[in-house]
Amino acid sequence: MKIESVDFFYLAMPEITTEADGSQDALLVRVTAGGHSGWGECEASPLVSIAGFVCPMSHGVCRPVGASVLGRTIESPADIARIAAEVEYNSMDLLQAAHTFSGVEMALWDLLGKVRGEPVWKLLGYSASHKKTPYASQLFGDEPHETYQGAVKARKDGFRAVKFGWGPIGRGRVESDEEHFRAAREGLGPDGILLVDVGQVWGEDVGAAAARLAALEATGAVWLEEPFHASALEAYGALARRSGKVKIAGGEGAHNVSMARHLIEYGGVGFIQIDCGRIGGIGPAKKVADYAAARNVTFVNHTFTSHLALSASLQPYAGLADHTICEFPFAPKPVAQEFTAKALQRDGNGEIAAPDAPGLGVEIDPEGVRKYLLDVEIKVSGRTLYVTPELI
């Protein structure tokens, strides 16, 4: 089969706010080859990602991603890896390339799985898809009582684990943050798994992060996520050495395998969190999962958007029975909920697993896509480089 087309669909809520919620828009990718199609999702600015696929060549290693994808053969996982290597080399000076190709790569796995009648996790070499404990990923409230209410609701909805992120944490007094941590624990109950994400709020300030460790440990937080900039390895390592029971987590900002490995080796993270929509897709995430497992570091997916992205993010570690925590889109915006036809369902124990269905096992709802679809046209000197394609 030859890759015949790669189509992008830019979806968005009617109003985009400054809320730290990546589910307000989406960039779906459809790849067709040999009469078959697969779907993926980029986790990045949609318009910039589309431009990364179609932009005119700047020079030999600043080519559009499409130049390394269209017309290529897709018959096996090895072909996906070969295309990925070509993109990495030919677009090395195009910094959006990894984000753009991530959605394309997911769609290639989805297509190949459908052709072979096998789930992606089986194509990756796993013999089983083990169940994971999903955590409800949500934002801290503006006030502690709102954080408490969010935790209570998550438990009522059957989640044993909850992650609170961003909000006011790290922007004011240590005592204020402690009140939020206690509120989260109270609402979650003594046996719940509490996870905390601060969204890089401290830059490289190890002291500010360390000042919260005692409160985090007192409330039984399992991890402190992204205390620093994604590449602040020295700060990560210093905090990891000062922390006791609370492990440091990070990795969602990694857009290649080396960045993730460095966080493990030099940043001392205990949990490596990879977003398949940013790192280059499912294949690179699987490499990180293998690397982490060999070093007693726990692999965790990063997913805050749709169930298409959720399924893709589960594939790289589906076969790792001891890596059981997974991020679950707890309250995504309607656009992220409505473009998929069927969500991944939790079982009676509140657990989920990568689907057994061929490919990613998630179907696209055309009506849900049309509801939020934005028409886009990109022209240079009167030449049309991109126009929103027909959905069907």
Predicted confidence (pLDDT) per residue in 337-379, tens digit? 999 998 888 998 889 999 999 999 999 999 999 999 999 999 9
Q: Cite the beta strand spans of 216-323 per DSSP E.
A: 221-225, 247-250, 271-274, 298-301
Residue 95's pLDDT band (cuts 50, 70, 90): very high
**How much is the mean pLDDT over the chain?**
95
The reported pLDDT for the residue numbered 343 is: 84
pLDDT at res. 257: 97
Helices 282-293, 257-265: crossing angle, 10 deg rounding: 20
Q: Judge contact between 233 and 266, C-beta under 8 A.
A: yes
- The CA distance from 221 to 218, in Å, is 8
Q: What average pLDDT does range 319-346 have in this prediction?
A: 90
- Residue 262's pLDDT band, with cuts at 50, 70 and 90, is very high
pLDDT at 23: 87
Confidence of residue 267 (pLDDT cuts 50, 70, 90): very high
Whether pLDDT at 331 is above 90: no
pLDDT of res. 37: 97
pLDDT category at 329 given cuts 50, 70, 90 is confident
Instruction: Extract the tokens encoding 23.
Output: 């589910």
CATH superfamily of 123-338: Enolase-like C-terminal domain (3.20.20.120)
Q: Which two tokens stand for residue 66?
A: 């499409």
Q: Residue holding tokens 């679809």?
A: 373
Contact 43, 279 (CB under 8 A): no
List beta partners, residue 384. 379
The pLDDT-based confidence of 330 (bands split at 50, 70, 90) is confident
Arithmetic mean of pLDDT, 25-48 = 96
Checking if the pLDDT of 166 tops 90, the result is no
- Give yes or no for a contact between 252 and 274, defined as CB atoms under 8 angstroms apart: yes
Token readout for 43 is 């986790």
- Residue 179, pLDDT score: 96
Which CATH superfamily hosts domain 3-119+366-387? Enolase-like, N-terminal domain (3.30.390.10)
DSSP state letters, 153-206: HHHHTT-SEEEEESTTTTSS-HHHHHHHHHHHHHHH-TTSEEEEE-TTTTTT-H
Q: Do domains 3-119+366-387 and 123-338 have the same CATH topology?
A: no
Residue with tokens 């790192």: 279
Nearest to 213 by CA among 186, 237, 181, 253: 181
Provide long-range contacts, Cβ within 8 A and 24+ apart, for 383-388.
385/54, 385/55, 385/56, 386/8, 386/50, 386/51, 386/53, 386/54, 388/8, 388/9, 388/10
Which H helix or E strand runs over 48? helix 46-54
Size of the chain, expressed as the number of residues it contains: 392
Report, as an integer, the average pLDDT of 260-287. 97
Query: What's the pLDDT at 19?
Result: 81
pLDDT tens per residue, range 234-256: 999 999 999 989 999 999 999 99
The vertex-37 CA angle with 31 and 43, nearest 5°, equals 45
Name residues whose C-beta falls within 8 Å of residue 307's C-beta, 6 or more positions apart in sequence. Answer: 329, 340, 342, 343, 344, 362
Q: How many CA atoms lie within 13 A of 346 on its CB side?
A: 18
Confidence of residue 285 (pLDDT cuts 50, 70, 90): very high
- The mean pLDDT value for 57-82 works out to 97
CB atoms within 10 A of CB 345: 8
CB atoms under 10 Å from CB of 276, counted, come to 32
Q: Which of 327, 256, 265 is nearest to 297 (CA)?
A: 265
| 3-class SS of residue 145 | helix
- 201 pLDDT band, cuts 50/70/90, is very high
For tokens 């602040």, what's the residue?
232
**What is the helix (H) or strand (E) element at residue 120, kind and residue range?**
helix 120-123
Q: What angle do CA 86, 91, 93 make, to 5 degrees?
A: 145
**pLDDT score recorded for residue 138:** 86
Give the start-to-end residue ranges of the domains of the chain. 3-119+366-387, 123-338
Question: Given the DSSP bridges, would you call strands 193-197 and 221-225 parallel, antiparallel or unpaired?
Answer: parallel
* Banded model confidence at residue 46, pLDDT cuts 50, 70, 90: very high
How far is residue 224's CA from residue 213's CA, in Å, rounded to a whole number? 9
| Confidence at residue 322, expressed as pLDDT on a 0 to 100 scale | 95
Report residue 293: phi and psi, to 5°.
Answer: -60, -35
Q: Which of 58, 57, 56, 3 is nearest to 29 (CA)?
A: 3
C-alpha span between 24 and 21 (Å, rounded): 6
> What is the rounded CA–CA span in Å between residue 181 and residue 183?
5
